[in-house]
Chain A
């Protein structure tokens, strides 16, 4: 059974940085693209970033372009999200999501909460 577990969330001041990690198990990690999707408190889902299975391509949502960077280490079955210049509007639960067959978000981690506040 595939499993995704995020870590690295917490409270941080505006302008500071944070790095999220997502450890994957139970499937062939190096065969799947991986996404980060976030959900602000009481709000809906917002796609943040994606990285191809081999790391060859990376794409970002406009609100985070130039501030966030997605990466992966297939030897460690882990995907990362480096978040710089954090703003209050980045406050959200960040989910790590597997890019499944047929272009699906087919497996989700429990999420990690990032709070940006002074």
Chain B
């Protein structure tokens, strides 16, 4: 199975400041069709996860443009340009390139 490793596991951030989360996969996530199926999910306290970013850098419908994704191969990053109070929660990367689908362990974003 592909192991997804996120760093840091916790990220205290000042409101209005940027935040960055790294996700590293144990094998390349480039699919045989040429796409890289790496997504990011946000889980606010007490809520189910929701899709933020797909295929590395594509924002899902309704996601604010302060969220961006980048990376390639085995190294990926989620950035929040200016953290707002509603961004508090846990963020997960997930790969859908190879079965079984696997998630990172999650990164908690909290306000300092």
Instruction: Using known A-B contacts A45-B94, A59-B100, A105-B94, determine if residue A95 contacts B48 with beta carbons closer than 8 Å.
Output: yes
Alpha-carbon gap, A61 to B26, bound state (A): 18
Measured as residues with beta carbon below 8 angstroms from the partner, the interface class of chain B is 20 to 34
Kindly state whether residue A27 has any CB partner on chain B within 8 Å: no
CB neighbours of A100 from chain B (8 A): 51
Nearest-neighbor residue (CB-CB) of A99 within chain B: B96
CB neighbours of A44 from chain B (8 A): 92, 103-106
Measured as residues with beta carbon below 8 angstroms from the partner, the interface class of chain A is 20 to 34
Instruction: Using known A-B contacts A102-B54, A102-B55, A104-B39, determine if residue A110 contacts B99 with beta carbons closer than 8 Å.
Output: no
Instruction: Using known A-B contacts A44-B106, A45-B94, A105-B94, determine if residue A61 contacts B51 with beta carbons closer than 8 Å.
Output: no
CB neighbours of B104 from chain A (8 A): 44
Residue contact B105 to A47, C-beta cutoff 8 Å: no
Alpha-carbon gap, A95 to B48, bound state (A): 8
Q: Give A94-106 as 1s and 0s: 1 = Cβ < 8 Å from B's Cβ atoms.
A: 0100001011111
Kindly state whether residue A46 has any CB partner on chain B within 8 Å: yes
CB neighbours of A9 from chain B (8 A): none
Write the nearest CB–CB distance from B72 to chain A, whole angstroms: 17
Alpha-carbon gap, A111 to B57, bound state (A): 27
Name which of B41, B50, B51, B92 has the most chain A CB atoms within 10 A of its CB: B51
- Which 8 A-B pairs have CB atoms at the shortest separation, nearest pair first? A103-B96, A108-B48, A103-B37, A45-B103, A47-B101, A104-B54, A44-B106, A106-B51
Could you pull out 18 A-B pairs where Cβ atoms are within 8 angstroms? A44-B92, A44-B106, A45-B49, A45-B92, A45-B106, A46-B103, A47-B103, A59-B100, A62-B100, A102-B37, A102-B54, A102-B58, A103-B96, A104-B96, A105-B51, A106-B60, A110-B47, A110-B48
